[in-house]
Amino acid sequence: MELPFAEPWKMKVVEPLYRSSREQREQWMKDAGYNLFNLRSEQVFIDLLTDSGTGAMSQYQWSEIMLGDESYAGSSSFFKLENVIHDLFDMPYFLPTHQGRAAENVLFSALIKEGDVVPGNSHFDTTKGHIEYRRARAIDCTIDEACHTDEYHPFKGNIDLQKLEDVFKKYPKEKIPLCIITITCNTSGGQPVSMQNIGEVSSLCRKYGVLPIFDAARFAENAYFIKTREKEYTNKTIREIVKEMFSFVDGATMSSKKDAIVNIGGFIILRDKSVFQKASVFNIMYEGYLTYGGLAGRDLGALAQGLMEGTEFNYLEARIGQVAYLGKKLTEYNVPIQQPTGGHAVFVNAKEFLPNVTKEEYQAQTLAVELYLESGVRGVEIGTLMADRNPVTRENRYPTLELVRLAIPRRVYTNNHMDYVAAALANLWQRRNEIKKGFRIVSEAPILRHFTIKLERIG
Ligand SMILES: *Cc1c(COP(=O)(O)O)cnc(C)c1O
């Protein structure tokens, strides 16, 4: 018979997990103000809060930690990383930062001013936060198919060219400093953007004199989808595809905590010298000197190695295969999820799951809390709480989709863990009609409120 798929790695270090009781979890959840961010990690059995900085580093990455050069300026770890970045992305300028939002802070300080608009595909929460903090506006131009969770589309992260051109026509060029292409598109379900779309968006940007920039946190997963779903790329390597993707843009911000499989780190890459020079000033002010950017030398080395491992096909096949495995199990149990599954996460459609809970009572948050109480599995709400309030009217913004994201850390959990997660959701699905009440807000921060919000049960 044909041999089944198996992961191309084995475990060398294990970390024990605590299996709590439902009574314990009820108390912990109440104490945490029904906000999953407020739980202690020991209170979580399987942690699918995020795939950010939660991956397992390889023995080669750990050896880079020992080899780290901690010189303030010009460390060998920096040049090791710079070489890898040049080879992978073919972009002349590079700035290290301590994580992805720091890269956004530095680049946007150089490019965005009050009153600007920044089109893109479902901007990530910190990206939008950094745009709105500068009194500029993010305009979502994702294709409508992204909102139809049960319809298959191979590239639901794509940008709608008509929507984008409408923005380019409506606002003068001086008001549109950049267009952000998020690969893969986290907020719409870890959905990829096709090479064709990247090319078309890039041409449109060039026609109107706007800088196309990647939010590149999951660039390698995006490349895997291009290879497996876009015919012309079947026989190209992941690294060839990556190089072509980046040939269409003028720069990128990167959260290395995702596809570079490190626990902390980020960077900016740029094609234009003058933008690089402007950004360099902010990098020194906010992050650190140009050859460390808020990271230790050892972090730079582990990042260089992680970028190489993260762009290997065998690794990506196992990683994205595990996400698809969880999606398939859930689909077998009839649990409504964003189809097809994305690169890093499965997104459960909470509106369909809990029709008896109103959007004013936060459907996705309610489902995420119920999942934790049922099983000790921690997911995250991608819904009204995360969408925040309209900065002008202070009204809740109700997004089209109410999702619970189950983000899978890289190289951390086994498929037995995935079976456990799927069974927990199947149990909830069976008694979904008994869940009728959601939550109300007790206290919240003025921006990025979901991280610290406190809630109480209604009824
Ligand atoms: C995680 C992420 C960021 C922010 O990166 P951090 O390292 O968490 O600061 C930005 N954009 C996307 C798409 C992300 O997934």
pLDDT in tens, 183-207: 999 777 789 999 999 999 999 999 9
* Residue range(s) of every CATH 3.40.640.10 domain in the chain: 59-310
As a CATH number, domain 59-310 is 3.40.640.10
Helix (H, G, I), strand (E, B) or coil at 2: coil
438 φ/ψ angles, rounded to the nearest 5 degrees: -110, -135
The catalytic residue among 124, 171, 347, 439 is 124
pTM of the predicted protein model: 0.94
> Which one, of 369, 373, 371, lies nearest residue 25 by Cα?
373
Verify whether ligand 1 is closer than 6 Å to residue 130 (CB atom).
Answer: no
Q: Name the residue of 126, 130, 185, 253 to mutate for ligand 1: max ligand atoms within 8 A of Cβ.
A: 126
Which ranges in the chain are annotated with CATH 3.90.1150.10? Answer: 22-44+313-457
Residue 125: active-site member = yes
Identify the residue whose C-alpha is closest to ligand 1 atom 8: 100
Q: Which residues pair with 445 in a beta bridge?
A: none
Q: What is 336-385 written as a DSSP string?
A: -B-SS--SSEEEEEHHHH-TTS-GGG-HHHHHHHHHHHHHSEE-EEESHH
Residue 31 annotated among the catalytic residues of the structure: no
Sign of CA dihedral 86, 91, 94, 97: negative
Whose CA is closest to atom 3 on ligand 1?
100
C-alpha radius of gyration, the chain, whole number: 21
100 lines ligand 1 (CB under 6 A): yes
Q: Could you tell me if 338 and 406 are in contact, meaning their C-beta atoms sit under 8 angstroms apart?
A: no
The minimum-distance atom of ligand 1 relative to the CA of 257 is: 7
Q: Catalytic site residue 419? A: no
Residue type, 29: M
Give 395-430 pLDDT, tens digit per residue.
Answer: 989 998 899 999 999 999 999 999 999 999 999 999
Please determine, for residue 446, whether its predicted confidence score (pLDDT) is greater than 90. no
- pLDDT for 296 equals 98
Partnered with residue 406 across adjacent β-strands are 346
Question: Top-level CATH class of 22-44+313-457?
Answer: alpha beta
Indicate whether 17 pLDDT > 90. yes
